[in-house]
Amino acid sequence: MATNRSRRLRKKLCVDEFQELGFELNLNLKDDLTEDVIDAFLDQFLNQAMEANGLGYVGGDDYGLVCLDERGSVSEEQRAKVEAWLKGRDELTDFTVSPLLDVWYPETPINKA
């Protein structure tokens, strides 16, 4: 595909100055948790860590992608808030928060501008 794209096409494709950033989460829940405890954890996660920070979550209870709830990019500050929220949870044995990445084209490097 041509690299000399119009502004309209760059926006439609979410490339260059319209690149949108997010991050991946890997959550390892404790094995002895009941379904009710897991459901309560996930409800709190969605309300307190995602919606409270203007974020959206796509995935399951062990792996997912976090992106902005509207068009745009997740900030490093929002990523840090989610990581801090997860550190305070007893339901998890471990978790991994990836660095920011391009949510549409994960193999593409992040623009430095």
Domain positions in the chain: 20-102
Is residue 57 predicted with pLDDT exceeding 50? yes
- Binned at pLDDT 50, 70 and 90, residue 60 comes out as confident
Which residues make Cβ contacts (< 8 Å) with residue 102, sequence separation at least 6? 19, 20, 21, 108, 109, 110
Pick the CATH number of 20-102 from 3.30.70.100, 3.40.50.2300, 3.40.50.300, 3.30.1330.100: 3.30.70.100
- Residue 113, pLDDT score: 57
Binned at pLDDT 50, 70 and 90, residue 108 comes out as: confident
Amino acid identity of 10? R
pLDDT at 51 over 50: yes
**pTM exceeds 0.85 for this model:** yes
Q: What's the mean pLDDT in 31-60?
A: 94
Report yes or no: 99 and 21 within 8 Å, Cβ to Cβ: no
Q: Is the pLDDT of residue 1 over 60?
A: no
Question: What pLDDT is recorded for position 110?
Answer: 86
Torsion over CA: 108, 80, 65, 6 (sign): negative
pLDDT of residue 111: 79
